[in-house]
Amino acid sequence: MTAIPGAEPAAGEFVRPSAWPYWMTLAFVPLVLLALWQGGWTIALIPFYGWVLMPLLDLLVGGSEENADPDTPESELFWFKLLTWIWFPLEFALVFGAIWAITRVGGYGTVEEWALMFGIGVTTGTVGIVHAHELFHKPGRFERNLGDLLMALVLYGHFRTEHLLVHHPWVGTPRDTVTARYNEGFHRFFPRVLWQGPQSAWRAERAKLARAGRSAFHPSNPIWKYILLQAMFLALAFAIGGWKGVGLFAFQALVAVWQLELTNYVEHYGLTRRYLGEGRYEPPALHHSWDSAHRLSGLLLLNLQRHADHHIHPQRRYPLLQIYGPERVPRLPTGYPPLTAMAMIPPLWRRVFNPRVRAWRRFYYPDIEDWTAYKTLSLPMPRNAG
């Protein structure tokens, strides 16, 4: 991995962030409405927009090495924040409006019905979960509650706990469920995360409450909130469309979570923190995340692809996330959408990414000669991991 010039800009080279390009995420709303109105081939426009058009535009527009001033005051970020605040009512209306249209209005074929909910799942996964991630990283109760509501709409409320209390402190170690192990295909990774994620979240909250002298079953455990919100949304789906409504709701949630975990798979595949012995690991650093500087997919995903800076400054708002030079952070060859598609074909993924992981190891850890244990993250669990 050859060092390439181009670190983060010095003071005075920052650009003023503009909010309006990020509002392109709202294009999913008319696309869903058109699909519900016309059905047929128009349903395909929903995944086409996020999975095909954005990567093609990435190729045409290119990357962006521009950074906004990370010290930009909150007062100048209103329109950026508003975009994340309004998404929950929009998503709520799209999800339950679609269930109402399918079960109460009708006129769709069986394939169309499930294709429509697949498109809804693409929307809740591509936009809703990304917005939720932005919101629950903020300290204010209002934004965290909006994030919880969005995650409940995809039946994945525990993700907030697992992400904040486990993934961020333990990324690149055996304690982190969603760090994809070297040589671990996505089809092994996904069921493992679905099984281990809720358990990991429960253990983390139990440990946190224990430190406060409380039982895991104390009402302050947010796991109960996640369960209640999800039960309420399932009940609403049943009230609208009966068991079919519940099935449609659950299907879109599965599609959304599938996209989330594909993204998690890509973000840290094969990257591990140095083992220091006695169950200890080095602190997380910029080079423990894969980054992408692609402009259009970055706008669509609220700069989630500037993932290294997010891990170092997890409360930094999305327009202020920084991109670093490839000599400091490993770079992805494209934005996330093409790579998540590649992850669905494990032999192809390994052929492309295993050499990159090995190059990353040689570049950042030239002194480590035996990576056998790191291949499966089979080293001892970190201390105090919950």
Q: What are 50-88's pLDDT values in tens digits? A: 999 999 999 998 888 899 999 999 999 999 999 999 999
Which pLDDT belongs to residue 369?
87
Q: Answer yes or no: is pLDDT of 274 > 90.
A: yes
Mean pLDDT of 148-160: 98
Mean pLDDT of 345-359: 96
Q: Answer yes or no: is pLDDT of 41 > 50.
A: yes
Which pLDDT belongs to residue 28?
97
Instruction: Check if the beta carbon of residue 172 is closer than 8 Å to that of residue 268.
Output: yes
Q: Answer yes or no: is pLDDT of 2 > 70.
A: no
Q: Answer yes or no: is pLDDT of 380 > 80.
A: no
Among 137-151, 253-267, 364-378, the range scoring the smallest mean pLDDT is 364-378
Q: pLDDT grade, residue 278 (50/70/90)?
A: confident
333 found inside a domain: yes
Q: Answer yes or no: is pLDDT of 248 > 60.
A: yes
- For the chain, give the mean pLDDT: 93
Q: Answer yes or no: is pLDDT of 373 > 80.
A: no
Q: Answer yes or no: is pLDDT of 386 > 70.
A: no
pLDDT tens track for 4-40: 333 444 444 889 889 999 999 999 999 999 999 999 9
Residue at 46: amino acid letter:
I
384 found inside a domain: no
180 found inside a domain: yes
237 found inside a domain: yes
Question: Tokens 């169950």 belong to which residue?
Answer: 279
Mean pLDDT of 307-323: 96
* DSSP tag of 304: T
* DSSP tag of 27: G
Q: What angle do CA 250, 253, 256 make, to 5 degrees?
A: 155
Mean pLDDT of 116-140: 97
Which pLDDT belongs to residue 383?
65
Number of domains in the chain: 1
383 found inside a domain: no
Percentage of the chain exceeding pLDDT 90: 86
Domain that holds residue 218: 20-376
1 found inside a domain: no
Strand segments, DSSP code E, in the chain are 275-277, 280-281
385 found inside a domain: no
CA-based nearest residue to 55, from 334, 270, 313, 330: 334
pLDDT tens track for 290-311: 999 999 999 999 999 999 999 9
Alpha helices in the chain (DSSP H): 28-38, 45-47, 54-61, 78-85, 87-100, 110-123, 129-136, 141-152, 158-161, 168-170, 186-211, 222-268, 295-300, 307-312, 336-343, 346-364
381 found inside a domain: no
* Predicted TM-score (pTM) of this structure: 0.93
Instruction: Check if the beta carbon of residue 284 is closer than 8 Å to that of residue 290.
Output: no
pLDDT tens track for 206-220: 999 999 999 999 999
Taking the CB of residue 239, how many other CB atoms lie within 10 A of it? Answer: 12
CA-based nearest residue to 312, from 296, 302, 323: 323
Mean pLDDT of 177-197: 96
Long-range contacts of 306-310 (CB under 8 A, 24+ apart): 307/267
